Amino acid sequence: MRLELLSAILCFVATASGAGCPLGFHLHRRSCYWFSNVKSSFPEAAAYCRYLESHLVVISSADEDSFIRGYAIRRGKAPFYRLGATDLNIEGRWLWEGQRRMGYTHWSPGQPDNNGGTEHCLEIRRDFGNYLWNDFVCDHPSHFICEKEL
């Protein structure tokens, strides 16, 4: 009897902490997300995510967007987070990693503005409408978010 109770509790704890996600990742729907505690340039951040068997986050729906923003607002420790999209190939043509077309977008008003002609990497920024999307320089050391599909 006591063993059954214990295994029920353990099962509940495992589910609540995001069973199936790597350590430190947070489960939402069918993906796991890691909000970095280190700051990196875009290529370094992409390498960090790959090392953790994931990729820089791809936001493809309003639901995913509100989870990411909600987490950043409530529990985030950084004023901005890097995501996995750039317009490096052709100015103004935004693509997710792997050259995937950007369907859903949630740019902050007036963004992307390619400020100074040097902003080619996507981030979310607290000052811009509570973590709406902004284009920013790729080599600036920023926190970032990795995603791993289950």
Residues lying near Ca ion in the complex (CB under 5 A): 87, 111, 113-115, 119-120, 134-135
Least distance to Ca ion from the beta carbon of 68, Å? 18
Q: Select 64 or 119, whichever has its Cβ closest to Ca ion.
A: 119
Bridge partner residues of 33 (DSSP) = 26, 147
Least distance to Ca ion from the beta carbon of 138, Å? 9
Least distance to Ca ion from the beta carbon of 108, Å? 8
Neighbours of 59 (CB within 10 A): 26
Among 115, 116, 133, residue whose Cα is nearest residue 124: 133
- The residue of the chain with the least Cβ separation from Ca ion equals 114
What is the rounded CA–CA span in Å between residue 102 and residue 90?
14
Q: Select 35 or 136, whichever has its Cβ closest to Ca ion.
A: 136
Measured distance between the N- and C-terminal CA atoms of the chain, rounded to whole angstroms: 33
Least distance to Ca ion from the beta carbon of 119, Å? 5
3-state percent helix, strand, coil for the chain, nearest multiple of 5: 30, 25, 45
Q: Select 16 or 90, whichever has its Cβ closest to Ca ion.
A: 90
Tokens describing residue 20: 């199936």
Q: Select 45 or 138, whichever has its Cβ closest to Ca ion.
A: 138
